[in-house]
Structure 1
Amino acid sequence: MSQIAGVLLAAGGSTRLGRPKQLLEWQSKPMVAHVADIALAAGLAPVVVVLGHAAKEVRAALAARPVQTAMNWRWKEGLSTSVQVGLAMLPPDIDGAIFLQCDQPLVPADLLRRLVARFEETGAPIVHPTHRGQRATPVLFARPLFPELAAVTGDRGGRVLLDRYANDIAVVEVEDPRLLVDIDTPEDYRRLLEMRDSNLPSAIPNLHRIHHLIIDMDGVLWRGDRPAPGLQEFFAFLQEQGIRFILATNNASKRPEQYAEKLARFGVPVGLEYILTSAQATAAYLAAREPEG
């Protein structure tokens, strides 16, 4: 399996919008945090967020997410400087990187996974989505192209390489063009807000109102030693949507560490702070009621 990083370009000044698009609200969180969650849910690692304009506020918007941040002090010189900063942060053992814009909130994690799958299938140096022949972002660049990508200057980003390697590119067809739209103006943002509650193929009505879940484990997430179908995708979806959760059980015979180990075997790493057993709940209740007992 290929190791693909994510580079989230979030340094621009948003001059046409009139305020930092990184901090626009989307599903009850800042846009940059939403796109970072999508990258994490897709399994990209590491995820590097390149900062510039309003860096302090954007870094705070990312909160405790497991991403790396890098400051582009030259962000006013164009997109290529952010690409260079992002490339410099990547470890030497990755196979490629997907470059994401912070103003495409409708790009789903599944599309990022499809880009990676297409890369593994074809070995193409560049993979990008397309709709009826129209190329779009985000774009996956293979590691051998990193030196050429770092040499690009100005505000062109990776477009130079897309032209240079046009005959070697692999594409992923996207049926719904709305998934690829971005935000440049206040009118773009208004239209996207309308799309958020429309009948997109993957949309669930009023999902943005859900912030927390309490999820039973035994018999729900697995049966015996068999995980429920779609278990990994379910947790990736929660992360993509920014929905927090507690995993609960009325089984007092096992420690939280045992549940965490079981989930890890199923490909779902979860911290102990997300697991609550009936033994823990009982101990907390008794401690609150009889602190001296």
Structure 2
Amino acid sequence: MNIASDNVYAIILAAGASSRMGRPKQLLEWRNRSLLEHAVLNAQTVLGERVIVVLGAHADAIQASVDLSAVTVIENPDWREGMAASIRAGVQALPESAAAALILLCDQPLVNAEHMQNLLNAWQNAPARIVASQYHNSVGGPALFPAGFFEHLLSLSGDRGAKPVLMKFEDRLIKVPLPEAALDVDSAGDFDRLTGCYPGY
């Protein structure tokens, strides 16, 4: 079974304070674009205008630096709670017609449009199941959640992201190998690794 992706939306989580980095990692420049721009452009390649960006800390600075006019921007007032609050804000912003949501992090720069399309393809073949990325012998984001799991995403709390939902429904999970997702930019050292090891990736 292969179904259309017209009602799939991307939710890009970009609300964190970047406390370990010391400056907004959303605005770190790599290959002539900010990390947030990379995430937005890749999501648009796959899902067109159906992209929601969740901001929180540094929202004004980010909107002043990044052109987000072609996507839906949501400001999460509870960003200090952690990633779960941003997931809830993103899911709440989805239209009722949304069939699934692809949850993305703005700090996984090696994740590209092709990887996102692979997740979408896996979901289209099994639209009742969650599709998650597999790396480091575990699973995580990017992950695509059918609408039937939105209520579980809305019940999340704290800073663990959607991992509790992935673990709770492991028997309904499709795992797509995505080693590129293992690199997330949390610290200056991570960014140095990105720019040093993957300058032209």
Under a length normalisation based on structure 1, what TM-score does the superposition of the two structures give? 0.64
CA RMSD of aligned residues (A): 1.6
Residue range with higher mean Cα deviation, 138-147 or 25-34: 25-34
Supply the distance in 1 between the matched residues of 2:138 and 2:14 (Cα, whole angstroms): 24
Q: Equivalent residue of 2:52, what SS?
A: strand
Supply the distance in 1 between the matched residues of 2:35 and 2:175 (Cα, whole angstroms): 26
Q: Could you tell me which residue of structure 1 aligns to residue 82 of structure 2?
A: 78
Q: Could you tell me which residue of structure 1 aligns to residue 154 of structure 2?
A: 150
Is the CA contact (8 Å cut-off) linking 2:141 and 2:181 kept in structure 1? no
Q: Could you tell me which residue of structure 1 aligns to residue 120 of structure 2?
A: 116
Supply the distance in 1 between the matched residues of 2:136 and 2:160 (Cα, whole angstroms): 23
Is the CA contact (8 Å cut-off) linking 1:33 and 1:61 kept in structure 2? no
Q: Equivalent residue of 1:7, what SS?
A: strand
Supply the distance in 2 between the matched residues of 1:118 and 1:61 (Cα, whole angstroms): 35
TM-superposed deviation, 1:172: 1.3
Q: Equivalent residue of 2:67, what SS?
A: coil
State how 1:81-100 maps to structure 2 within 5 Å: 81-100=85-104
CA shift digits 1:92-119 (9 cap, x unpaired):
1121011111101110101111101100
Is the CA contact (8 Å cut-off) linking 1:40 and 1:47 kept in structure 2? yes
Runs (4 or more) in structure 1 with deviation over 4 Å come to none
CA shift digits 1:218-264 (9 cap, x unpaired):
xxxxxxxxxxxxxxxxxxxxxxxxxxxxxxxxxxxxxxxxxxxxxxx
Corresponding letter in the other structure for 1:140? L
Is the CA contact (8 Å cut-off) linking 1:125 and 1:144 kept in structure 2? no
Supply the distance in 2 between the matched residues of 1:41 and 1:180 (Cα, whole angstroms): 22
Is the CA contact (8 Å cut-off) linking 1:32 and 1:61 kept in structure 2? no
Is the CA contact (8 Å cut-off) linking 1:39 and 1:112 kept in structure 2? yes
Match of 1:54 among 49, 52, 58: 58
TM-superposed deviation, 1:123: 2.3
Q: Could you tell me which residue of structure 2 aligns to residue 264 of structure 1?
A: none
Q: Could you tell me which residue of structure 2 aligns to residue 5 of structure 1?
A: 9
Corresponding letter in the other structure for 1:94? A
Corresponding letter in the other structure for 1:155? D
Supply the distance in 2 between the matched residues of 1:117 and 1:186 (Cα, whole angstroms): 34
TM-superposed deviation, 1:45: 4.5
Q: Could you tell me which residue of structure 2 aligns to residue 273 of structure 1?
A: none
Q: Could you tell me which residue of structure 2 aligns to residue 184 of structure 1?
A: 186
Corresponding letter in the other structure for 2:111? V
Match of 2:196 among 194, 197, 200: 194
Q: Which runs of 5+ in 2 are unaligned?
A: none
Match of 1:24 among 25, 28, 31: 28
Q: Equivalent residue of 2:54, what SS?
A: strand
Structure having greater relative contact order (Cα 8 Å, sep ≥ 6): 2
Match of 1:34 among 27, 33, 38: 38
TM-superposed deviation, 1:62: 2.6
Supply the distance in 2 between the matched residues of 1:64 and 1:21 (Cα, whole angstroms): 16
TM-superposed deviation, 1:31: 1.3
Q: Which runs of 5+ in 1 are unaligned?
A: 204-293
Q: Could you tell me which residue of structure 2 aligns to residue 214 of structure 1?
A: none
Supply the distance in 2 between the matched residues of 1:16 and 1:164 (Cα, whole angstroms): 30
Is the CA contact (8 Å cut-off) linking 1:149 and 1:161 kept in structure 2? yes
Percent identity between the two aligned chains? 32
Change (3 A) 1:178 1:157: closer
Under a length normalisation based on structure 2, what TM-score does the superposition of the two structures give? 0.91
TM-superposed deviation, 1:153: 1.2
Q: Could you tell me which residue of structure 2 aligns to residue 139 of structure 1?
A: 143
TM-superposed deviation, 1:191: 0.2
TM-superposed deviation, 1:80: 1.0
Is the CA contact (8 Å cut-off) linking 1:84 and 1:150 kept in structure 2? yes
Supply the distance in 2 between the matched residues of 1:50 and 1:44 (Cα, whole angstroms): 17
